[in-house]
Amino acid sequence: MTDTTIVLIEVGALLFAMSLLGRIAARFGLSPIPLYLVAGLAFGTGGLVPMDASEGFFTIGSEIGVILLLALLGLEYSADELLHGMRRSKAAGVLDAVLNAVPGAAFALILGWGPAAAVAVAGICWVTSSGVAAKLLRDLGRIGNRETPVILSILVIEDLAMAFYLPTVSAIVIGVSLLQGSIRVAVAVAVVLIILYVALKFGPFISRLFTPDLAEPLLLGVLGLTMLVAGLAEEVSVSAAVGAFLVGIALSGRVAQSAREVLTPLRDLFAAVFFLFFGLATDATELPSVIIPGLILAAITMATKIVTGYLAARRAGIGVPGRWRAGIGLTPRGEFSIVIAGLAAGTAPALAPLAAVYVFITVIGATLLARLSDTAWFRRVTTRTASRPLPSAG
């Protein structure tokens, strides 16, 4: 068989298998994300039946998946809502960094990995997966919930912070001079500010570039612009997710509404590919030795993320159930954690497999906890606990 034939067979078989897994997940009222991850493990490096020929397709497809997830999330909100949410959540953003990055750094130092690895693990634990969080919000029908802007504000703050963090990690790992590292960070931050300024200032003009009445040109135009901006952002060490999200923010009115309709099927396809690819890219044979450390780290930092979201939602005046949903919605880690682990893999031999186990646990845990927070008994228990008066001193 030719290479093209093998790719078609592998891609077709995996997509068909994912369809069956999606039906199974729906049958039990679960998100299909954990099943996609397990399928990737089964057919990736070290899995039961490795499929190598289609790696290129799934690599590109996974990048498009993250971009589309964030672009469509951005289409749900206006520029004013974004700025208001970020201003309101800036204290939560600082708390988020302290509560989640510090335990990660301390964990790496306890393992004896050294300062460079500690900086990397801090980032792995700090940043929520925007892709997983966005998919959970959509799958559970929570886009319109009161706590969702709180979640999105923290996600955007984290993604924008990556403009500082990723070049810094790269500089530490590569060992460049302080001046070279400072230049890389300055360029990345400048690009983020330019994209944000253009999105906020010229949003109506950008929307006029497209017509909401012609589906095909709208699909091609919005997808092309989103990928273009995301690619340019990635080139200067800024998150492609940030660029895609800001493109979504820039579009408004009927254009935004029509773009959501035509892009949704593509998002569903490539978002599923993203989660499958993460499993495919993970060597299953390296995982057993880091399962226990991964479980410990995940338990600690999932708890700190829940505290972060709970406090941020309480500050925004949201009720107790919404506070728990906000906290749980921030627990999954994903694309950024894997990127950081890839950059810093040379700083400690077990860092990359630990990151893989950690991401799997947080994604699966977040999916299960998100469903749990909707149950009547969970709401009764958490509401009763929150309303219980504190014991008086003395």
The number of beta carbons lying within 10 Å of the beta carbon of residue 376 is 7
Lowest mean pLDDT among 48-62, 166-180, 244-258, 283-297: 166-180
Task: Read off the pLDDT of residues 73-103 as tens digits, 9 standing for 90 and up.
Answer: 778 766 666 667 667 777 888 899 999 999 9
pLDDT at 392: 45
Q: In sequence order, what DSSP letters do the residues of 212-250 get, joined into one string? A: TT-HHHHHHHHHHHHHHHHHHHHHTT--HHHHHHHHHHH
Report the percent of the chain where pLDDT is more than 90: 23
Domains of the chain, earliest start first: 73-266+290-376 (1.20.1530.20)
Residues 6 or more apart in contact with residue 300 via CB below 8 angstroms: 103, 107
Q: Could you tell me if 7 and 55 are in contact, meaning their C-beta atoms sit under 8 angstroms apart? A: no
Question: Residue 381: which residues within 8 A CB-CB, separation 6 or more?
Answer: none
Q: What is the mean predicted confidence (pLDDT) over 158-177?
A: 72
Q: Return the SS3 of 75.
A: coil
Tokens of residue 39, six digits: 């399928």
Here the tokens at position 318 are 């949201």
CA distance 318 to 326: 10
Report pLDDT for 394: 40
Question: Which pLDDT does position 393 carry in this prediction?
Answer: 40
Tell which residue, 102, 109, 104, has the closest CA to residue 121: 104
Sign of CA dihedral 363, 230, 62, 249: positive
Residues 6+ apart with CB under 8 A from 264: 72
Tell me: the pLDDT tens digits for 336-366?
787 788 778 788 888 888 988 898 899 889 9
Q: How much of the chain exceeds pLDDT 70, in percent?
A: 89
Question: What per-residue confidence (pLDDT) applies to 179?
Answer: 66
Q: Work out the angle between the directed axes of helices 351-372 and 33-43 (0-180°, nearest 10).
A: 150
Mean pLDDT of the chain: 82
Residue 176 banded pLDDT, cuts 50, 70, 90: low
pLDDT tens sequence across 28-75: 766 687 788 788 888 877 667 777 767 788 888 888 888 888 788 778
Q: At what angle do helices 115-126 and 90-110 cross, to 10 degrees?
A: 140
Residue 243, pLDDT score: 79
pLDDT digits (tens, 9 = 90+) for 243-252: 787 788 888 7
What CA–CA distance (Å, rounded) separates 41 from 277?
9
Q: Identify which of 335, 331, 341 has the alpha carbon closest to the alpha carbon of residue 361.
A: 331
118-152 pLDDT tens trace: 999 999 999 998 878 888 888 888 888 888 888 88
